[in-house]
A and B are shown apart, each in its own frame.
Chain A
Amino acid sequence: MLNRFIRYIQRYKGWFGGGAAICIFLGLYTGLLASPPDYYQGELVRIMYVHVPLAHTSTLAYSVLFFGSIWYLWKRDPLVDNMCQASAGICALFTALALITGSIWAKPTWNTWWTWDPRLVSFSVLLLILGGYLMLRKLVDDPERGGRYAAILAIVGGIDLPIIKFSVEWWRTLHQPMSFSTRGVAISDDILVPLTLMSLGAWLLFAYMVMVRTQILYLTDLLQAKKGRLLSQTHFSQTSP
């Protein structure tokens, strides 16, 4: 079922890419030019329009990896494995960028590039888990076995997601509390518009990137399989009497 969904949605890849480009362009315009500066933070609030969507998208990407890994262990579908591998790489990129932009934001507001804050630490752990996932896939010789081990790691690492989400409520933290919760939305409309546009753009961009990366992995596998078959064919014709 998931295999068919992945194949089906690949047809609309361009729509996701186009939608992401439009949303991000509008988001950048409203975020950098149209929205007012914050009363306390001044112009620095504009970093939020790039940092928060990156951070949200990296947790979304890890959720895709988490559920995809469960599905892969259950069905052993190589296309789902490709999608998981694609999600992991892109999630690592988004997580690293969220940490870098967060650090840039922290310097003028907290007067430090880094602090051992629960949100920051749990988010960094996510990057370490993703690094481990990608290394496992590279280091294990048998790709099928590597995929299986990596899927187990991704499922175990899923424990970090609720820790990231609730770290600002469970522990004393410098990081601001949740802005979207059951208690409502604690953001003014001026800020909400660019933030929503950029978040939507980042989600669509992630979907587009996963589709392209899955396609690359699929085509690489196909090429290798075909080349291998041709090589064996050549070898057979050379060695046969």
Chain B
Amino acid sequence: MTGLYARWAIMIGGILLLATMTFQQYQRDLSTISLATVLNSPATTEPVRIQGMVKSGTLSGAVEQGQATFELIDGPTTLAVEYAGPPLENIRELKTIVLLGHLDHETKTFKAKDTALISNFGFVAAAYVIAVLSLGWAIFAMSQRVMVLFKEIKEEKLYEPEIDPLANKE
């Protein structure tokens, strides 16, 4: 049994390492912060990623040329956005988008220079967790069952040569 548990400890360690690295990558490249957090954060020009919905009736400018102004809503918070970057292909009012840029604290305007797709990483994580846990559990249960069966056979001494009862009787 020790060998079985040692093998599984190594595999679980490897999976946990991958999960940690994935989480770090998610935090670095994909996670967004709320509009309220951006508004309350100290002044910085470090780019941040925010997610919100384009407020109806506020979108104006040359969207196809990559110049636009609009307001972004996230719950009760609204933030004015000035976008200047690559042409916006799929932007429209009432659409939820992810913007990259920084907040101009003087004008309280978010200066966006790029957009990104909504990561939906929860779905990705759910698919991987369900698949890996289910398969892992199934394999572990089967490996353990084999060990138990071997142990049972050994303990019951079922491999001992059987004595023919008829031969004994004689």
A and B from one assembly? yes
Which of A21, A44, A205, A216 has a CB less than 8 Å from the CB of B120?
A: A44
In the complex the two chains form, what is the Cα distance from A150 to B119 in whole Å?
A: 45
Binding site for A on B (CB under 8 A): 11, 14-15, 18, 21-22, 25, 30, 116-121, 123-124, 126-128, 130-131, 134-135, 138-139, 142-143, 145-146, 149-150, 152-153, 156, 158, 162-163, 165, 168-169
What is the minimal beta-carbon distance from B12 to any residue of chain A, in angstroms?
Answer: 12
How many A-B pairs fall under 8 Å by CB? Answer: 107
Q: Is A213 an interface residue (CB 8 A)?
A: yes
User: How many residues on A have C-beta within 8 angstroms of the other chain's C-beta atoms?
Assistant: 44
Q: How far is the CA of A43 from the CA of B134 in the complex (A)?
A: 23
The minimal Cβ–Cβ distance linking A123 to chain B, given in whole angstroms, is 16
Q: List 26 A-B contacts (CB under 8 A).
A: A21-B11, A25-B14, A25-B18, A28-B128, A32-B25, A33-B22, A41-B117, A44-B120, A46-B124, A46-B128, A51-B127, A93-B135, A97-B134, A104-B130, A209-B138, A209-B139, A212-B139, A212-B142, A212-B143, A213-B142, A219-B149, A219-B150, A223-B153, A230-B158, A236-B165, A240-B169
CA distance A107 to B131 in the complex (A): 17
B contacts with A: majority SS: helix
- Which A residues are in CB contact (< 8 Å) with B124? 43-44, 46-47
Contact of A101 among B25, B127, B169 (CB under 8 A): B127
Find the B residue at minimum CB distance from A42: B117
**Interfacial residues, chain A to chain B (CB-CB below 8 A):** 21, 25, 28-29, 32-33, 37, 41-44, 46-47, 50-51, 54, 90, 93, 97, 100-101, 104-105, 107-108, 205, 208-209, 212-213, 215-216, 219-220, 222-223, 226-227, 229-230, 233, 236-237, 240
